[in-house]
Chains A and B, each alone.
Chain A
Amino acid sequence: MIRKARSIALGTAVAALALPAAAADDGAGKSYTPPRPPGDFTPPPDSAIPDGPMGDMIRRGRELFMHTQKLSGDYVGNGMNCVNCHLDRGRKASSAPLWAAFGMFPAYRGKNDHVNTMIERIQGCFRYSMDGTPPPADSKPMVALLSYHFWLAKGAPVGVALPGRGFPAIDKPDKPYSVARGKTVYERECAICHGSDGGGRKAEGTWVFPPLWGSESYNFGAGMHRINTAAAFIKPNMPLGRPDLTTQEAWDVAAYINSKPRPQDPRFTGELAQTKKRFHDHMCLYGTEQHGRTLGAPDGE
């Protein structure tokens, strides 16, 4: 299953690599390989953000990226901020940095089976990870967020899968992941910030530690509910400031977190088995028995 997930990821990257040439030359350039970038890409510093309307829009985007809760109620339906998954304001390698994403769109995504623009990709975050309503393409928040993406990618090549992109593929665990072992890891390493109940924590009414499950967390459509994706995020990034879990621990705790209830998949068809079959053919626990209940079942089922 891991192998399958990896080969899908690789396939997407290969397809995306071929995109610019194919678009320019209608297939004649299919064997074209863009030159490798000279080294790791570094996004421009904050101090280089220009003055004027464009700079203002970039700064606005950065602000919304860090404090996405400002869009709570309008576009955000839970307690998450963009920066919870995209660490260091979307700059950190191996934490789905914006500078590595921007040049990879438009791209075909198996998730919705069509070619997505960068805007549609960001809207996907709002729909699933933020459990909200996506800002329209031309809305000010979207223009601001897109401007911030553009800024961080300034000087990055287009159509090149840069090192540090996404969450790095994680090695297969020695033992199959275990929700029970994951609980032990969670209580020891994660609960101090995210709470034993996974609900995160607020201070002065502001979210400080993001909720990992429950009604204020990402929904069952978010990429993070996949155990392999969560493990790939956790391994290089968590615990924040001291990311040193073993590969096995990352898998186990990813399974535990994703064995807990969270908001329904917005693509829910009204029938759990059908939704699971149609949208959850990947490494997740949606529709399975966990902690004495069926994960993703509507209340009362």
Chain B
Amino acid sequence: MKPQRFNALAPALAALLLVPVGDAAAADGRKIARNGTNAGAPACKTCHGMDGAGRAAGGFPRLAGLEAAYMVRQIQAYADGTRANATMKPIAKALSASQARAVATYYADQKASGRKPDGKAPAAGRRLATIGKWSKTVPACNACHGPGGRGGGADFPAIAGQHESYLVAQLKAWRKGRRTNDPNGLMAAVAKGLTAKEVQAVAAYYARQSAP
């Protein structure tokens, strides 16, 4: 941690000294989520909530329970433009590397309940999730995103319980090249193999699954 950080946190310094280093990072992350930073990053909770549940209406993703390393890389991607997003770009640029790590760690530890949407997803959604669409060499989503889509490591985030609007937007972004930070171009290849209807179906399916 940089010395100036301690200056900024002077009132909390005594408390920080009483807890292990990992907890200090989490405490810092909570503060960023609630209040934002002096460098101009607004409070994350405004859109993502303190519990990291996100908001379906605005397409703000659920962050609770995602792997910290994944979220750190997404913040970097917003900053360097490999994820084109007018809202997140200035925010990501305002966060230092250690701030990004701290707030990602905070949200990774959250357990948002999150209400699942009403109604049923089209059958094609479950099929894509568990079997894939091999006529276009699209494997089952779960083949990489883990059992039930609850995550397959830091490169393959949980998509179960994620907002439908967000998932649709990401699949479209990969297809159109507005998001290019997928490792090895794997998601671009997958997204290009899906029709708009299938994108909708698979997003609707995962939005109705239980998040990790």
Contacts and interface: CB of A to CB of B under 8 A. Distances in A.
Partners in one complex: yes
Contacts of B156: 208
Interface string B113-143: 0000000000000000001101001110001
Interface residues of B, number: 22
A242 B155 contact: no
Contacts of A203: 146-147, 150-153
Interface in A227-278: 239-243
Contacts of A240: 139, 143-144
Nearest to B158: A203
Nearest to A208: B152
B185 interface: yes
A92 interface: yes
Contacts of B16: none
B189 interface: yes
Contact of B183 (A89, A91, A192, A243): A192
Interface string A110-147: 00000000000000000000000000000000000000
Contacts of A241: 137-139, 144, 186, 189-190
A48 B132 CA distance: 18
B143 A204 contact: no
Contacts of A204: 146-147, 150
Given A203-B152, A203-B153, A208-B152, A243 B137 contact: yes
A188 B184 CA distance: 8
- Most B-side CB within 10 Å, residue of A88, A206, A242, A243: A242
A193 B131 CA distance: 18
Interface in A153-208: 188-189, 192-193, 201, 203-204, 206, 208
Given A88-B132, A91-B134, A242 B189 contact: yes
Nearest to B153: A201
A62 to B, nearest CB: 11
- The secondary-structure label for the interface of chain A is mixed
Nearest to A244: B189
Contact of B144 (A92, A206, A208): A208
Contacts of B138: 241
Interface in A77-125: 87-89, 91-92
A189 B184 CA distance: 7
A240 B147 CA distance: 17
A209 interface: yes
A208 B147 contact: yes
B66 to A, nearest CB: 13
B134 A208 contact: no
Contacts of A193: 144, 155
A91 B131 CA distance: 11
B152 A239 contact: no
A134 B185 CA distance: 39
Contacts of B144: 193, 208-209, 240-241
B111 to A, nearest CB: 16
Contact of A88 (B131, B147, B150, B152): B131
Contacts of A189: 184
Contact of B143 (A92, A208, A243): A208
Top-9 shortest CB links A-B? A203-B146, A242-B189, A88-B134, A208-B152, A206-B147, A241-B139, A192-B183, A203-B152, A240-B139
7 contacts: A87-B134, A193-B144, A203-B146, A203-B147, A241-B137, A241-B144, A242-B189
Interface of B: 131-132, 134, 137-139, 143-144, 146-147, 150-153, 155-156, 183-186, 189-190
